[in-house]
Structure formats: C-alpha cells, structure tokens
Structure 1
Amino acid sequence: MSLSTFKETLKPCKHNPSTSSSVSSSFSSISHNFDSSINPRKPPKSSLSQQLLRLQDQDHPFSLPQTQPKCPKKETVLNSEGEDIDDEEEEEEEEEKKDRILRPKLESFQFDPTGPYEPLLLSLPGEVPAIQVPASINCRLLEHQRAGVKFLFKLYRNNHGGVLGDDMGLGKTIQTIAFLAAVFGKDEEAVNLTTSLREIQPEKKGPVLIVCPTSVIHNWENEFSKWAAFSIAVYHGPNRDLIFDKIEAHEVEILITSFDTYRIHGTILSKVQWEIVIVDEAHRLKNEKSKLYIACLEIKTQKRYGLTGTIMQNKLMELFSLFDWVVPGCLGTREHFREFYDEPLKHGQRSSAPERFIRVADERKQHLVAVLSKYLLRRTKEETIGHLMMGKEDNVVFCAMSELQKRVYQRMLQLPDIQCLINKDLPCSCGSPLKQVECCKRIVPNGVIWPHLHRDNPDGCDSCPFCLVLPCLVKLQQVSNHLELIKPNPRDDPDKQRKDAKFATAVFGTDIDLVGGHTHNESFMGLSEVKHCGKMRALEKLMFSWLSRGDKVLLFSYSVRMLDILEKFLIRKGCCFSRLDGSTPTGLRQSLVDDFNSSPSKQVFLISTRAGGLGLNLVSANRVVIFDPNWNPAQDLQAQDRSFRFGQKRHVIVFRLLAAGSLEELVYTRQVYKQQLANIAVSGKMEKRYFEGVQDCKEFQGELFGICNLFRDLSDKLFTSEIIELHEKQGMEHGNHESAKLDFTELQMCFLPQKEETKKSTEASEDSKTKDASKRTVKPGLEDLGIVYVHRNEDVVNIGSGTQGKKELNMHLKDTVCVPVIRRKAAAAAAVGGKNTVENAASSKIRKKSQYSLLAQFMGMEEVEFSKWLLSATPEERDKVLRDNKRRTDKIPDG
C-alpha cells in the first residue's frame, strides 16, 4: 500500500469531530516516523523527551516542533514515486493552520543532536550492545568530565587500568559513576525505547570494588544513590561477614571499603573475581613496602583504576609504585625506572648541572610523559573550569619570629642532642680516626631528649644518634609556631609530661618567667596574647583587615593544640567561628560546613589539616590561612582546595605563614623542590633550577638535604629570598630579563611606607651593598605587619607547560617600580659601572613614593592604613583603585 493510498483511508475520519484530533495525532506520529528516515537524528532518550512524546500522543497542546514533516522533503520523496499529491498537501496545510491556532509556537525549542540531553555513546557506532552514559547523568556533566568518562572507558576496552589525575574539585567521583553506569548498562530509558536492546541479554559482569579513605565512604554512597541505581554494600564495620555472603551470592554490584579495612581483610576480598577495582586517593599506594600496597597487589583483575589529584607527592619512585600497581610493567622494573628516569631527572634539575645532564634530563622527561599519557589523564582547574572561577593567589608570607622565640630557638640548637647530630661527621675528640657518630658521640647521655628515648636501654639503640632526628625536628617546628606548644600537654601521660617539662626548662633558660613557667598555661589572656608569637602578630593585623571588609576565612593548622590557642585568640577578638578537628563526630561535620557556608555571621572556620583536608566544600570563604607548613606539599594544596573549587564566586587569596629564619623555610623550599619534580615528570614542564641539592644523593646534598642542613641556623639570613633572588640575578646576567618578574613582594613593598635609609660609603664592596640593601629595604618596610618577606608560590614554581617555562607577567599596577626591583637593578648596574642607572633608579623611587602617597590620599587613608588595606585586597580591587584614580586625574585640567 502506497503512502497516498493510506492517507486516502484516513480522509473520511476528519469529518467526524469526535475522532479528528486522535487521527490527526496518529497521522502526525506516523509522519514523524516516516520523516525520521530522512533526518537521522533521533529525539534524545531522556525523561524530558519521553514526556513530550507521551503528551503528543494524547493530543496535548505542546508537541515536539519537528514532528510534522517538512514540505520540501515530502515532495522529493513522493515525486520519486510519480504520484500527484498537491490536493492532499493543501488539505493538510489547512488542518495545520487550524492546529496552530490552538497550539503555542515552540519553534525556538531545539534538541542539540550532540548535546547533553542525549546519552553519551562510548562504544563504536553500530556496536551491539551500545555502551552509553545515561542521559540523566550526561546532562549534568561538564565537557571535561565527559572526556574523563571516555578516557576511563578506553582503558576498560583495552583491558588495562589507568589513573584519572584531575585536580581536586573537578569531579572525579561523578566521572567514575558515569563510567560504571555505562559499563553496567544503567541506561533504562534507552532499553525501554529501543526494541533491539530488549532482545539482547547483557553479559553478566562481576562486582566493582572501591577502596577509599574512611571519611569519604558515605560520600561515595550518597553519590551513587543520587546518580544511578546500583546495588551497593559497604564492607566496613561489624557486618562484614554478611556483606561477603551477599557478594558470593552475586547480590552486590558495588562494594565500598576503607583503606584500613582492606589492609586488614584484603586476603578475604582478593578471593573475589572483581570486574573493576577503583582506588580513591590513589597516592596512598606510593610506598611499595606498606601493607596496604602489598594487599592491593593480590587483586585479581587487570582493570585497576586510581583517582588522585596529587599523583606524585615526595619522590619520583612514588610515581613508579602507583603506575606499577595500576598497569604492572608499564614503566619497566623498579631498577630500570630509577636508572633511566629518576636519577637523570633529579640531577638535571640541579642548579649547576652540566649542559649534557640537562639535555639528557629533557629527553628522559619527554619520554616519560609520552609513556604516562597512555595511562594517565591529568587536568588542572585552570585548563577546565578556570573561566568559571575568579582565580586564586597562593602567597607565602615569611613572618618575623618574636625576640623571645629567636632566643628559645637558638638555645635549642645548642642542646647536646642537636649538636651531636650537627657534628656527627667531624673527627672524634678522643684521637681515633673514626667520626664522632662512629665513636664516642654515638650516644648522648647528657642530652635532654636522648635519655628519655633510651630510658630502658642506656647503651643506645641500633640507629643512634639518628633516632633523635624526628623528635628534634618536631620541637623546632613547635618553637617556630608558638612557644606554648613545647610545654607539657595535660592530656599526655605523666612520664611524657615530666620529659616535656625538663625540655621546656632547658630551652626557656632565663626567659622562663616571661612565658609563665615550664607548665601548661591555663590563663586565657596569656594564651590569646600575640606578642610572643610572630605568626599570630602578623595574623592579627591581617585578620582585622579581612573581617572589616566582610571576608570569610579558613584557618588551618596541623596541631590541635595550636587550634586551641587560635580559638582563644578569636574569642578575644570577638570573632564568630566554627571548628572541625579529629574529635568532631563524622555525622556533625557536614552540618558544620553547611552552617558556615550559609551563615553570614560565621567569619572564621578553624580546621585541622589532618581531619579537614578531604571532603569539605567551603566555597563561601575567600581567604585561606595555613598556619604551619607540611613536609608534604599535597597537604597544603588540599587545604587550599577546600575553598578554591567549583562553586566559588569570589577571588581566593591564600596565605601560608612561615617563621622566617627557622626550619620552616627549609620545609617550604623542599615543597618547591618536590612540586617542581612532579611538574617535570607528570606534565613535562620546564622548571627553574633553584637548588644545588639532589634528593637521596649524599654527594649533592646542597642547601636542602642532609641532617646538617636541617639543624642549620638560618636566623642571620633570608634563606628563601636569597635563593630566588640569586636565580633572578643569574637570569639577568644571561640576558633573561623575564626572570626578574614583579612579584607579590614587590607589590607590597611599593605600597608600604619606607623609612629613611642610612647612606653607605661608596667604597663598600658590591656584595656588602646588596646584603645591606636587602636588610634595609625589605625588613623595615614590612616591620609594622611583622612580615619579613613575601612572594607568590606560582611565581616560584613554574606553571607554564612544555619548553615555554615562563609565565606571562599579568600583574596589576605593573607601571609601579618597586623597591626590590630597584635594588636588583642598582646591583646589576653597579656590576658594570652604571652610575646613571643607579641615579635613575633613585629618582624613580622618589617619584613612585610620591605616587603612592597620592593614591593613599585618594582613598582617604593614611599611608600605613592604605598599606594594610593593599595587603588583603584582590587584584580586581587594586585595579579598580588605579582606574578610578586615573579617571579623576584625567578630569583635572592642567594648570
């Protein structure tokens, strides 16, 4: 029967009013089905499309706009059959005109044939059964998340594992769930709508194992229940045997367990034939000797996937451990990786490395990146959702320790315990040819820390005196943060309290009365006082500026005792705050987060770095303070990302507080070293070569590595500043003027009132000039804020990729020449005898100070007040001040 004949049979029906609408609807549906052969795009298989189709069948006034066939297409098809249908078309047009009177126009409503309202097809075209992400999930994914799902499925198709290494906050969880929903055929709408899929029996798949930190188990549960209909069980707690019985009975599709549970019960779970194994926070598999790593090696599946935002944290060999578990053998053997990648990359990054070392390191770097690209997908926030966010500044603030802190720090370096470590390689005083560590100074019976550690073993242990390193480092960090931390903790056992009291008495010395004795201070006013803590003195001034402008602050500390002190400080200042640490119940944590995000009165959130580093979304805060740095750079980066994540509406400014001249400067420079190695190995970036030291190499310990560097006295120098400025000076000598970039230090120095400088004799040497200028210009300028030196971390750690290696200068107020820049230019000019350059720099300095004073007057502030405001202002706010000031000056007529 031809189409024209079939339409003739429908003609009489239109005269019956009771049936005309239903027949018209049927005809419209049939015509739509016919026209679908011409237009290959099918309506999206989403709940929205289903509703529209059902409403159309019921002759609802709303209908899909393209259900009626287009006239030109019908003419082409019907004329090919040689039939004249002009009369029928005219009658149909009359009916359509009547329908349009009753139906609203929806011509603007169009489905994108490749848009998010359709399922995301992962399998090859024509492949049966089709593997696709349900439209209900696909419509919620961002573009980079769809690419991540495709990457995971590509690994699955090739029957091996890989690592999804997106930055924290880019949605690794939802990408994983979308991938699993596609693999397990959770697209129920597509199955119901497509007849061919009804007849296909999907292959029965084994269960999926997800291993994650205990703190995010419930988050995984909630996300699965939100996005897809899986049969989920949690293997954690007292009901493990019951859950395991369900797994053997094939009643569980997704099993979630914690790292600790799997480490203990991995032997039982490894008996299951898993379809897929996913390890969240996969950087936990960095140590090949850990029990967790050994347990994970027993998993019987090749489809192993790791999720982590910090692929490498401390060493390049950690990279090997992770990928050797994900795809065994992909990087060769451990020894091959160490010789072919690890050693060349580390030695090529040495500041004085020969040219051939640098060339070999560049070749090996490119080779490693090419190999990893097969198994790794790494994206950053700047590459993916940077256009949706206001940006972030990571400022490193070197705070001056109080005079009392400095004296206590010096006394601790003079303790017999630390002196034994410092002098370990010197010849023994007894006259033997052995070193002190091998002879008479192996044990320290007259020490303060050593006798307590070996109270049951007076002859010492096998690792003496190196067993003292960690306890001494902890004490030095405590002195750098707050003197109260080295006093006895009332929560400790009496024996440890006596030991800490003895140590406090030794290092406080004659200043013991100034700190209230060697016992724990119970005074609220004493604990909240800032005069004896350099970091708190700087924090007090910064906090006043932020809170007066309505900013919300996240305040992180690694120490719970430090949080107690900061809590009293906030109470004294009248701040409304929340607090989260290890003692906070798991069920209460999310309510604290929600309350802080929704309540305008909550100004500060005190968070323990160890308890709140993962799983918190605190996008209402736009200021982040990390009170004490961690040896692992990933810890500080995770803390920052509690605020800087998708949903943040304001510019985020991070302040990492470091005690200048203390061990914390070495902690930070090692962070820089580790971040640079990670960027080189994972992303193939070209990093600046600041340091002479090479990790795990006794021959090249340089300024970073080795026990002597750990306990070196840095109080008489600007350790980090000198390393960075030396690199910039070398860059200028080699004609690389981009290295002398305007950084945050210079920006601050420009807007801080400078004191009168003492004139030095012109006969002084070039080195003494530079050193004296450093002390005169840097320290007094920030003295009122208690800050010695400041820079941006992103300017020190390159963020450019490939061979570019240099970040374009994008700084507000770039016309302003600041004091440190003047000092460097003057030093460079003096080296070549350029007196005119020095004179021009001096006159430029006077001119810029005058411009600064005018800006302060324009803002209606004193110079010091304006300096403090600038310290906490965002680049947009600084730029607005310049624009407004320029607009005002343009309106003032000349003369």
Structure 2
Amino acid sequence: MSLRAFKESLRPCSGSQSSISSSTQYFSSLSQNYDSSVNPRKPPKSSLSQQLLRLQDHHVSLTQTQPKSTKRETLLGSEGNYGDDGEEDEAKKDTIFRPKSESLQLDHTGPYEPLLLSLPGEVPAVQVPPSINCRLLHHQRAGVKFLFELYKNNHGGILGDDMGLGKTIQTIAFLAAVFGKDGESSDLRSRNHNQPQKPVLIVCPTSVIHNWEDEFSKWSTFSVAIYHGANRDLMIDKIEAHEVEILITSFDTYRIHGGTLLKVEWEIMIVDEAHRLKNEKSKLYKACLEIKTQKRYGLTGTIMQNKIMELFNLFDWVVPGCLGTREHFRDYYDEPLKHGQRSSAPETFTKVAEERKQHLVTVLRKYLLRRTKEETIGHLMRGKEDNVVFCAMSELQKRAYQRMLQLPDIQCLINKDLPCSCGSPLKQVECCKRIVPDGAIWPYLHRDNPDGCDSCPFCLVLPCLVKLQQVSNHLELIKPNPKDDPDKQRKDAEFASAVFGTDIDLVGGITQNESFMGLSDVKHCGKMRALEKLMLSWLSEGDKVLLFSYSVRMLDILEKFLIRKGCCFSRLDGSTPTGLRQSLVDDFNTSPSKQVFLISTRAGGLGLNLVSANHVVIFDPSWNPAQDLQAQDRSFRFGQKRHVVVFRLLAAGSLEELVYTRQVYKQQLANIAVSGKMEKRYFEGVQDCKKFQGELFGICNLFRDLSDKLFTSEIIELHEKQEMEHANSANASADITGIGMSFLPYKEAFQVSTESEDDNSSEDDGKKKAKPVLEDAGIVYNHRNEDIVNSRPGIKGDRESSMHIEDNVQVSFVPGIRRKSDGQANNIQSAASSKLRKKRQYSALALFMGMGDVQLSKWLLSATPEQREKLLQNYKNKKAKLPGT
C-alpha cells in the first residue's frame, strides 16, 4: 500500500461528525423525555365478563386480522386509560390483552465506568467491572452496594427482591467486585493479595444449578465447579488445590454431604431460595448453621411464607442473634402482631401491634433489602391483574363432596371433641373413636397396625384433605391410578365407590376412564367449564396461556381437553428431562403456533422465563401463597411487554375457599411483618392459637360444609359493612359529593347525563332483566386479589396524609393526568390517597343502591352496559340536587 493510500484510509468519514452530532441529539432527547422515577399509568385492567361478552358476538371471525372495534367495558375496575387523546381512542379497540407497543426507550445514562464500592481514596479500590456495570439496572447497582456493605461489616443479610428482578446478576456483580474480576482474565494467579483467597459456596435448588453456571459464564470469568452427582468428590480436590473460586451445590447434596463441605474454609456462603431455611427442625437448616463463615447471604423473593417465626429462623442464620432469642421474638413480635390482626381485636392490641410492627421493620432493614417490581421496573412493564374466580361445582361434584364429608373417617375428625357415646367423661378422640376400623381410609393407613398409631385419628387429616381437593378439581382424580400398587388401587376403588354412591354409572364406574371424549368433557367439572369459556375468548384473540396444576393426572386430563379444542400446546412436568426444559421454553416463546403451556407447579415454579404468555391460569390453589405467586411470575417478569392477567380457579363451596382465605391471611401477615404495611382485618382466627381458631383454623373448619354459602364472599361483605358503619359513625355529616365508580371506566363514571331521573325502577329492572354473563361459565363470584390483600403503606406520615381527600375528584380520575411529586414518598401518598378515594366513592354508590360493596359488584357483573350507564346517570342527577353540590 502506498503512503498516500494509507493516509486516505486514516482520514475520517465526511459524515462522521454529523452522524455523531445527530446521535448525541437523539440520546439527549431521550434523556429529556424519560424519567425512570415516575411510573407511567398502567393500562386499564381487564374485565372478566367483558371477555365472556365477546363470545356472544357470532359475527366475529377467527380469521380476521384486525379485531372488531367495540366500546370498552371494564366491570372489575380501572386504573385509568392511556395518556393522551390518541391513545384514548386506541384504547377503545378491543385489544386490551395486546396493547399497542411503545417506542423503544434507551437509557443512555447507564454508567460505562466502574461502580466504586469502596470509599474514595481507599486502596485497593473495590469496584464492579465496567463490562458488568454497564448492563446493570439502577436497582441492581443499589443491590450490589447493599451486599458489599454487609460484606465490609463482616456479617450476612438477605437480598429479598421480588422474583424476576435479577438477584442472581446482583450477586455475581458483587462477587466480581470483591474478587477483583476485570472481565478479561480468569487466571487465579493474577489475584491481588488483598482479595479473598477462600472460595465461595452457593447452595440452590437442583433445577437452577446449571442456570447459575450459565450466568457466571456470561457475566464474569470465575472458575466455577459443581458439587453434584457422581463426580462431586473430584471437586474437593480442586478446591484444596485452589483451582476453584465458586462451588455450586444443591440443597439435597448439601444436606446429605454437608460434612465434607464443612471441612473447607469458605469466604462467603450464598443460599438461593433462602426461604427453604424456614424450618428450624429441618436437617438442611441445621447443616447451614454449622458453616463457619459469618458472611452468609440469602436470596429470596418470599421472605416469609406461612408464619412470622419463619423470619426469625432465616435472620438468625444470616446474622445470629440479631433478633434476640427465639422465646423473646415469639413474645415480643409474633404474638402481638397475630393478635393485633384479629378482626375483633381491642384497640389496645392494635396499638401494641402497630408499635411492634414498626420496631421489627426498623431492625430488619439493617439486614434486608427488598424491592418490588412496581418500585423498580414498573415503568418498563404493563402491569399485572390477579383475578380470583370462584367456579360452581357440577351437581355431580357437589353430591360426591357431600358424601365424602359423611364418611366415618371425616366424621371422626369433626366430632373429636364431643362426649363419647359410651358414657365416659372423655372426649371421643380420647376414648372409643380414636380409631376408625370401618372407615374408607383409616384401615389402609394402618394395615400393618390394627390398633392404630400414636397420632390417631389426626393421621387422617392430610389424606382426607387431599381427597377433598381431588373432588373439587375433577372426579376422575379419586379413581384408582393404574400406576399404583394393587393394594392401593383396591383401597382407592373402595373409597371411590363410597363417594360416588348412586352416581357411579354417571362417572363411568370406579375404574379410570380411558375414553378421550369422556375425559375431555367439561360437564362434570365446574372449573373446566369456566376454563372452556375463558380459553375460547383468549385464543380467538391470539393470546398465549400458561396453565398450572399441582396434579400430573390433572395435567393429563387438561391435555386431552386442549387436544379436543384444537390447541397447539407444550407440556412440562417432573418427568421432563432437565436438558429438555430450556428448549421447550425457547420453543414456546418463539413459536406463534404454540398457544398453551401446560406446567406442573412443582416442576415449573422456578427458573422458567415465559414472557411470551400474557395469561396465567392456576387451576388448583396451594396452601402456600408463595407457590402461586412464583407460578404467576413465570410470565410477569422483566422482558414482558404485555399486560398480564392471572386467573386462579377455585371450587366455590369447597375446601379450596378455605385454602385461599388462609393464603390471604398469610400474605397479610407477611406484608405487616416484613414491610410494615397496614392490612384489612378480615378474620377472627389466629394462627397456632386454640382459643381463637375463628373461621380459618382448626380441624372442624377444614371439614366444614360450605356448599350452601359463599364463604369468602360473606367474610369480605361483612368486613365492608363494618367498615362502612365505622366510617358513618366517625363522620355522620359526610356527604356523597364527587362520587365516581372505581369499578367502571372514567367515561362511564363521569359522562354528562341526558336522561331524566324519572325512571326510579332502573336498578330493579336491571336486577331482573340483566342476563348474567358469567352464569353460563359457572362463575358465581370473583374479585381481584390485590383488592383484598390491601398492601397499604404503613408509614405514619403516609397514612395520615392519605386521609386528606382533594375536592376536585374528577381530576384524580382523568386519564393521562399524573400528579407531580418530589420523590417516591409523594408517589406512595398519591397512590394510597387515590385508592382510598376510589373505595369511598364505590361504597357511596353501593349505599345509593341500597346494597353492600360485594352485592353491587355482583350486580355489575351481570348488568348490561346500558343498565350501568343508566345507574350512573340517575346517581349523578340525584347527587346534583343535594345541597352544596
């Protein structure tokens, strides 16, 4: 190459400066328009009945490329419409589950310099490598700083972010900074003498071991080994030779072979899904206590699952003694918080509970960092709606459920505290009815011990609960499983025969139904009947659905149901090979033809990223609320571009209602103890307290007949009634000016009335003439979980400020208008104030109708749009005639 040609090649491009200038202007404009601290409004929440109303339009063709434009009706609620008029018109289209994609927003302010963790001027400097830091979100950088502060102070802590916020990535960034990784070399010989010389131990579920390994390879240059499987002993030799920096093992391996790992001196121990350490009596917990390092870190999105004492076990592992002794924690925190949440708790109890709650939260904040999706990446997501749908059981299911409650096994448990019929002063459980030789379940459990066991008859509780849940889900589940041993099949056949009774021919006998058409038929299963109606609406719109169930046999039935409906689906359960799972996930996310993903809740609760789905159905609830929330978060996580709608299906009048109300109870206690939030007091029962078992706890409540009532609905309605009476007595002179409806869209709540108020019978006509849209689907009641689990801020200043209501009610409901705030605290105040205002407005409208809040909600579900509009017009006219309006 000549010298001239070489100089020409070095000359800058003539358009480079203009290109750089235009690029700089573009990113500058993004910086001005983008404010990550303010979350834009989420799209209006969907209506369950609106989806079913689509089914009545016989003119909609599945081959249409554009959905028919209809008037949006939102019955269950609205958080506001889109920001401007153009988006408001767009929102009128019937595309609520496929919202218009927003323009790409780039964060050009992301740091491209190392994130310094050590103090300025401190040598050696501890910093996050630029190759990692430039890819971290703002909340993740804060998490890395939190972990390093704990490390610097030589004690442990909990990173308790919501699932999907990148706890794994934050941990890797923290370790890369501590070990001085620069992202270029993995040579252990280049390590600085001031950096840790000891390895790091990571204990996690088996299903995510390889996920940890993959993330380490993507983000940094650690020497990683896996202590799991047949060749695990070879890893110990590598550790002794200082060839391993990170050792990853599973819970089971650590529990069994922890003695070998305890011989190694560890710099840091990290436990993923740390809520597994909730039980102080488990072998895993005891093995983790024996680790010698004080730098113990737990990663979990569900810090507390069932009991407040779980908090003590977890924090006593990461920072021993930080919460005092076990007895002190139980007396000072656990008991006051539980009794203060009782619905009829005296005022002195509630005051003590408030003080202890604030004190506990203050102590936990020293060792706990917890952020939610709404606080961190809410502006990047479209929101989630968690619907709880109560489905009527089929008549055959109801009869089978009633017969089961009459079995000798369950009657023995129900009548355990009654005087014995033999004339003895002892209770039945202590005398003649301790064993049940004529039962349908007891003889098989004690086939090797005819005299019973030490736990009799309480050993029957769990098997009976499992059978009741099976009847609630599908009658085929109580029939013998051909894969079981002959003795169990014979026992299950006798049990099924007793439960089916005279209906045995209607269910095809006591043997498992092999008929494809019979298993896929929905007539004998209330939940499948509702699912059929909902799925037809979703799939016609091109939505993708995740369908969870705890029972593999139930997944088999649902699989035949999907085949009959012509759905293209994928399936993942415990029998799916580990190496095949990720390929199934990738195929579902990328294939437009895959509409439904059948997932076993136990196998698919962790490690799956299914953001292509915007609908989640949980077919059967869990006693542990965290498991249902983990299933929801397979779809609702970073990368989700659409509004996620969750449907939890419950069999109305069955044990599942009690399962759900206990979920609410546990979620409320967790919000109180961990976050210091205020929660509504629905229940009289107190966990682990025989004196206050109330409506939730105790064996008699578990096996209570709920077929003639809506258990959950009545509890909520009673609470709303008491709350309204309390509000009326506190402010008897309060008027009902400025009332809108939080359950209806803004345009319906505030449009100008053009009709007179002469028709006073509109409400009655609506009740009589309204066709119940949800009745065809067998849905008798539904609500949003977020409306029941209140989750209000617990800070006193926020709570007091939320009581001040602005005079201009209409402005707070206008779509696209966002209150200006100076910080996150003001945003919290605004949200709390808005929610309280909407609640009062809805209650006032219910009072105008002469109903309770729940009754009005039921009426709205079955009312036509014209009837709802007429109701609001009549109410507005009457409100205008009140003095002072």
TM range (shorter): 0.7 to 0.9
2:678 is matched with which residue?
Answer: 686
Structure showing greater radius of gyration is: 1
2:123 is matched with which residue?
Answer: 128
d(CA) in 1 for partners of 2:369 and 2:635?
24
Contact kept in structure 1, 2:742 and 2:841, CA below 8 Å = no
2:276 is matched with which residue?
Answer: 284
Q: 1:851 aligns with which of 860, 866, 880?
A: 866
d(CA) in 1 for partners of 2:834 and 2:789?
16
Q: 1:337 aligns with which of 301, 324, 329?
A: 329
SS of residue paired to 1:735? helix
TM-score scaled to structure 1, two decimals?
A: 0.76
d(CA) in 2 for partners of 1:245 and 1:486?
51
1:786 aligns with 2:778: yes
Contact kept in structure 1, 2:655 and 2:702, CA below 8 Å = yes
2:433 is matched with which residue?
Answer: 441
2:617 is matched with which residue?
Answer: 625
The residue correspondences of 1:833-848 to structure 2 (distance < 5 A) are none
Contact kept in structure 2, 1:778 and 1:789, CA below 8 Å = no
Structure with the largest fraction of helix: 1
1:425 aligns with 2:440: no
Contact kept in structure 2, 1:145 and 1:171, CA below 8 Å = yes
How far has the Cα of 1:631 moved from its partner? 0.1
d(CA) in 2 for partners of 1:778 and 1:316?
46
Contact kept in structure 1, 2:770 and 2:862, CA below 8 Å = no
1:499 is matched with which residue?
Answer: 491
1:116 is matched with which residue?
Answer: 111
Contact kept in structure 2, 1:132 and 1:187, CA below 8 Å = no
Code of the aligned partner of 2:866: Q
The residue correspondences of 1:201-600 to structure 2 (distance < 5 A) are 201-600=193-592
The residue correspondences of 1:162-201 to structure 2 (distance < 5 A) are 162-187=157-182, 201=193
Code of the aligned partner of 1:259: F
Change (3 A) 1:438 1:851: same
Code of the aligned partner of 2:549: S
How far has the Cα of 1:820 moved from its partner? 12
d(CA) in 2 for partners of 1:775 and 1:351?
32
d(CA) in 2 for partners of 1:470 and 1:372?
35
Q: 1:160 aligns with which of 155, 160, 176?
A: 155
d(CA) in 1 for partners of 2:161 and 2:446?
46
SS of residue paired to 1:656? strand
How far has the Cα of 1:186 moved from its partner? 0.3
How far has the Cα of 1:207 moved from its partner? 0.2
Code of the aligned partner of 2:417: D
d(CA) in 2 for partners of 1:646 and 1:223?
16
Any unmatched runs of 5+ in structure 1?
Answer: 1-16, 23-57, 64-99, 193-197, 751-771, 830-837, 856-895
Change (3 A) 1:394 1:774: farther
SS of residue paired to 2:593? coil
Contact kept in structure 1, 2:183 and 2:220, CA below 8 Å = no
How far has the Cα of 1:189 moved from its partner? 6.9
1:634 is matched with which residue?
Answer: 626
Change (3 A) 1:143 1:816: closer
Change (3 A) 1:779 1:499: farther
Code of the aligned partner of 1:851: E
Change (3 A) 1:845 1:128: closer
Contact kept in structure 1, 2:201 and 2:270, CA below 8 Å = yes
Contact kept in structure 1, 2:843 and 2:852, CA below 8 Å = no
Q: Deviations over 1:757-809 (max 9, x none)?
A: xxxxxxxxxxxxxxx99999999563212101000000000122125578659
SS of residue paired to 1:790? strand
Change (3 A) 1:559 1:107: same
How far has the Cα of 1:731 moved from its partner? 0.9
Contact kept in structure 2, 1:167 and 1:381, CA below 8 Å = yes
d(CA) in 1 for partners of 2:235 and 2:291?
18
Q: Deviations over 1:75-120 (max 9, x none)?
A: xxxxxxxxxxxxxxxxxxxxxxxxx999777467789998411111
Q: Deviations over 1:371-430 (max 9, x none)?
A: 000000000000000110010000000000000000000000000100000000011111
How far has the Cα of 1:665 moved from its partner? 0.2
Change (3 A) 1:744 1:258: farther
Contact kept in structure 1, 2:268 and 2:296, CA below 8 Å = yes
Change (3 A) 1:688 1:779: farther
d(CA) in 1 for partners of 2:523 and 2:456?
38
1:145 is matched with which residue?
Answer: 140
Any unmatched runs of 5+ in structure 2?
Answer: 28-106, 750-763, 803-830, 871-885
d(CA) in 2 for partners of 1:592 and 1:810?
43
SS of residue paired to 1:734? helix
Code of the aligned partner of 1:695: Q
1:730 is matched with which residue?
Answer: 722
d(CA) in 1 for partners of 2:520 and 2:201?
48
Change (3 A) 1:621 1:439: same
Code of the aligned partner of 1:184: F
Q: Deviations over 1:42-80 (max 9, x none)?
A: xxxxxxxxxxxxxxxx995569xxxxxxxxxxxxxxxxx
Change (3 A) 1:317 1:647: same
Percent identity reads 80
Change (3 A) 1:163 1:436: same
d(CA) in 2 for partners of 1:516 and 1:239?
51
d(CA) in 2 for partners of 1:267 and 1:437?
44
d(CA) in 2 for partners of 1:337 and 1:777?
58
1:613 aligns with 2:578: no
1:826 aligns with 2:826: no
Contact kept in structure 2, 1:234 and 1:256, CA below 8 Å = yes
Contact kept in structure 2, 1:149 and 1:175, CA below 8 Å = yes
Code of the aligned partner of 1:624: V
How far has the Cα of 1:342 moved from its partner? 0.3
Q: 1:675 aligns with which of 667, 671, 677?
A: 667
d(CA) in 2 for partners of 1:708 and 1:775?
37
How far has the Cα of 1:495 moved from its partner? 0.7
TM-score scaled to structure 2, two decimals?
A: 0.77
Number of aligned residue pairs: 729
State the Cα RMSD in Å.
3.7
Contact kept in structure 1, 2:654 and 2:706, CA below 8 Å = yes
